[in-house]
Amino acid sequence: MRYFLFLIIFFSVNSYAKGIYQSNADFLNEVFNNDIPKTQMLWILDDVKKGATKILGEKPAQLRVRYWKNNQQTAWILEEVGKEKLITVGLLIENNQLHQIKVLAFRESRGWEVKESFFLEQFSQAQLTSKLQLDRSIDGISGATLSVRALKKLARLALFYHTQVIAKDKV
């Protein structure tokens, strides 16, 4: 009986862990209070490409990224491979600080703990240093090393893209 209960709990936790937690539209509605700004595009070329390559450790997968901008706020929906599959993350940046980070979809079979608030809270108000690193260390989760690494990369990438967008708009 105890063994049976353990199996039920094990499989229900696993099935709950993997999946789509929030749609892209719902995330944008949430961060912009149901008033989503116009979709804009950032082209990943020249210096932007160089910076993104430095952060990701390889060439970015796409040459353009969509974003939504409202004054000093920008929202990004970015994807990065954990071990084999893409993790979709929504990020809100304001005044060069990370205001919100949320795992929107997790497709890997392991490492789903990165969606939990105890982990994501570490990113609150994080900024990017001149070396394109986060200004703080993020504690890992055992068994979720690759997912943690993917989220750290996406946080750095969104902060970097934000600075590029703000700089571009100033010109």
Alpha carbon distance, N-terminus to C-terminus of the chain: 68
Of 5-13, 63-71, 94-102, 151-159, which segment contacts other proteins by CB under 8 A? Answer: 63-71
Contact mark string toward other proteins, 19..58, x via CB under 8 A = ----xx--------------x-x-----------------
Q: Is 64 in the site for other proteins (CB under 8 A)?
A: yes
Q: Is 66 in the site for other proteins (CB under 8 A)?
A: yes
**Between β-strands 86-94 and 19-20, what pairing exists: parallel, antiparallel or unpaired?**
unpaired
Q: Which phi-psi region, left, alpha or beta, contains residue 143 (left: φ > 0; alpha: ψ -120 to 50)?
A: left
Contact mark string toward other proteins, 80..119, x via CB under 8 A = ---xx-----------------------------------
* Sign of the Cα pseudo-torsion (18, 24, 28, 29, in order): negative
User: Could you tell me the CA-to-CA distances from 47 to 57, 69, 133 in Å, in that order?
Assistant: 15, 21, 17
Please report, as ranges, the residues that interact with other proteins according to CB under 8 A.
23-24, 39, 41, 61-64, 66, 77, 83-84
